[in-house]
């Protein structure tokens, strides 16, 4: 399912365009949710950095975008927060981190309900299906406990601070190594979990994605 999108460009430019739209929607919703919740919890940093926006350009990360295009999963530019602005830094940081994946799940559920109960054309159904799929990919992939992914913030609650700081320093190297050398196994796991959630929200089995 997470086939290389460049192959889609060669075989079908329209399908490739739909993939790009789906990815940009998924990534933008994810990063905007981080910024919005941080702002609501009292930290204006994301807003001052121009991240409280639905403009996808503000949320693109070089490496994350490249891997989205060639591997089918990746990440956006991390939203920077200042924990000193939070009333409860530990839990507010966690809330901000979870906001991204949960926003992807919420959007997938809403679009899944549309596919189930609203008659739409074939092109719209195709677009909604792919948007759902990639929202679920974003959700699952970002739960990996590796910085800068959101799952690392959950891991930080259970390991010593010094250990987490070391993990932060090497997180991107670990992540890139995982994507380069273990992408097959990672794709297998992510696809199985995504397939479960996809069937749950749409009532369909993902075929040909």
- Tell me the pLDDT tens digit for each residue of 79-88: 999 999 999 9
Question: The whole model's pTM is what?
Answer: 0.87
| Close Cβ partners of 188 (under 8 Å, ≥ 6 residues apart) | none
Residue 1 banded pLDDT, cuts 50, 70, 90: very low
- Per residue in 142-161, pLDDT (tens digit) is 999 998 899 998 898 889 98
What pLDDT was estimated at residue 94?
93
Query: 87, 21 in Cβ contact below 8 A?
Result: no
Q: Which sequence spans correspond to the domains of the chain?
A: 5-202
- Per residue in 170-199, pLDDT (tens digit) is 998 998 888 788 878 888 898 899 999 999
Q: Is 31 among the residues known to form the active site?
A: yes
- pLDDT above 90 for 89: yes
Q: Which listed residue (31, 39, 92, 150) is catalytic?
A: 31
Residue 11 banded pLDDT, cuts 50, 70, 90: low
């Amino acid at each position: 399912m997470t086939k290389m999108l460049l192959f889609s460009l060669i075989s079908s430019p329209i399908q490739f365009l739909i993939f790009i739209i789906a990815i940009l929607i998924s990534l933008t919703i994810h990063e905007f949710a981080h910024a919005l919740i941080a702002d609501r919890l009292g930290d204006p940093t994301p807003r001052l950095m121009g991240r409280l926006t639905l403009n996808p350009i503000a949320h693109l990360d070089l490496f994350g975008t490249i891997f989205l295009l060639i591997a089918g999963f990746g990440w956006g530019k991390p939203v920077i927060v200042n924990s000193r602005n939070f009333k409860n830094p530990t839990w507010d940081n966690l809330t901000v981190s979870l906001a991204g994946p949960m926003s992807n799940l919420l959007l997938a559920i809403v679009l899944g309900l549309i596919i189930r109960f609203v008659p739409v054309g074939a092109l719209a159904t195709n677009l909604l299906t792919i948007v759902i799929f990639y929202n679920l990919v974003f959700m699952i992939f970002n739960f990996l406990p590796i910085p800068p992914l959101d799952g690392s913030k959950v891991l930080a609650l259970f390991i010593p601070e010094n250990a987490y700081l070391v993990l932060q320093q090497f997180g991107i190297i670990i992540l890139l190594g995982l994507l380069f050398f273990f992408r097959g196994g990672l794709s297998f796991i992510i696809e199985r979990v995504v397939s479960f959630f996809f069937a749950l929200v749409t009532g369909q089995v993902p075929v040909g994605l």
